[in-house]
Chains A and B, each alone.
Chain A
């Protein structure tokens, strides 16, 4: 069974950093592109970033480019999202996704002073 478990969310002040993790199991992690998608409270879905199966290619939405870094450790079957210079508009539940098919339960990030 495919499982994706996010962690690392919490309350953080504007301008600070946070690193999210997504532990994957139930499939060969190194075979799949992975993504982060977020959802602000009571709002729709917004793609954040994608990383290729081997980590050689990364893609970001413009609003996070230069502030967020997606990475992966295939030996640990873990996906990461390093978030720097956080803004209030980054407040959202962040979901880890295997391609566009399987999603985790999400981790809430709140950026507030």
Chain B
């Protein structure tokens, strides 16, 4: 199985500040079709996860441009600029290139 190592586990931030979350995979996430199926989610308390970024760097519908994704191969990053209160919660990366799909362990974005 592909192991997704997500860091940090906890990320204290100030409102208006910047946050960066890393996800590293134990093997390449490049599919045989050339696409890389690495996605980022935010789960707010009491809610289901919501897709932020799909296939490394594509913002999902309605996601503000404060969120950006980058990376390739086995090393990926989610950046949040100008953090707002509604950005707080648990962030997860997901790889769906290989079965079984695997998630990172999660990062809790909280106020400093």
Q: Does A95 contact B (CB under 8 A)?
A: yes
Chain B, Cβ-Cβ closest to A46? B103
What is the total number of residues of chain A having a CB less than 8 Å from a CB of chain B? 19
- B100 and A100 within 8 A (CB): no
21 A–B contacts from the bound complex (CB under 8 Å): A44-B92, A44-B104, A44-B105, A45-B41, A45-B92, A45-B103, A45-B106, A46-B103, A47-B100, A47-B103, A59-B100, A60-B100, A61-B100, A95-B49, A100-B37, A100-B54, A100-B94, A102-B51, A103-B48, A103-B49, A105-B48
- B92 and A59 within 8 A (CB): no
What is the total number of residues of chain B having a CB less than 8 Å from a CB of chain A? 22
Residues of A within 8 A of B (CB): 35, 44-47, 50, 59-62, 95, 99-106
Q: Does B50 contact A (CB under 8 A)?
A: yes
- B100 and A101 within 8 A (CB): no
Residues of B within 8 A of A47 (CB): 94, 100-103
Chain A, Cβ-Cβ closest to B92? A45
Chain A, Cβ-Cβ closest to B39? A100
Central interface residue in B54, B92, B101, by most chain A CB within 10 Å = B101
Residues of B within 8 A of A (CB): 37, 39, 41, 43, 47-51, 54, 60, 92, 94, 96, 99-106
Residues of A within 8 A of B106 (CB): 44-45
Complex: A12 Cα to B93 Cα, angstroms: 31
CB proximity of B13 to chain A, nearest CB, Å = 21
CB proximity of A87 to chain B, nearest CB, Å = 18
- A101 and B48 within 8 A (CB): no
Complex: A49 Cα to B102 Cα, angstroms: 11
New A-B pairs, 4, CB < 8 Å, besides A45-B106, A47-B101: A61-B100, A62-B100, A100-B96, A105-B47
6 shortest interchain CB distances as A-B pairs: A47-B101, A45-B103, A103-B48, A59-B99, A61-B100, A44-B106
Residues of B within 8 A of A105 (CB): 47-48
Residues of A within 8 A of B101 (CB): 35, 47, 50, 100
Central interface residue in B39, B92, B103, by most chain A CB within 10 Å = B103
